[in-house]
Amino acid sequence: MWLTYEEILQKRQQLRSPMVLEAIEDYRRGVFYSLDLLKTHR
């Protein structure tokens, strides 16, 4: 099921973590990070 941003805001108490909404809001503001930040280089 896909939700609109407004629907997500209405269900914010049901989200797994506050970080979910933070990530969505970062995306909406144009804040992006490379997935390389999550990798460990050896």
CA dist., res. 38 & res. 1, Å (int): 27
CA dist., res. 29 & res. 27, Å (int): 5
Continuous segment of H or E residues that includes residue 26:
helix 18-29
pLDDT number for residue 42: 65
CA dist., res. 24 & res. 2, Å (int): 13
Model confidence at 35, in pLDDT bands (50, 70, 90)? Answer: confident
User: Mean pLDDT across the stretch 10-36?
Assistant: 94
Q: Residue 27 is encoded by which pair of tokens?
A: 């995306």
Residues in the chain: 42
| Model-wide pTM > 0.85 | no
User: Mean pLDDT across the stretch 27-37?
Assistant: 91
Residue with tokens 């144009």: 30
Average pLDDT, whole number, for the chain? 91
pLDDT over 90 at 40, yes or no: no
pLDDT over 90 at 11, yes or no: yes
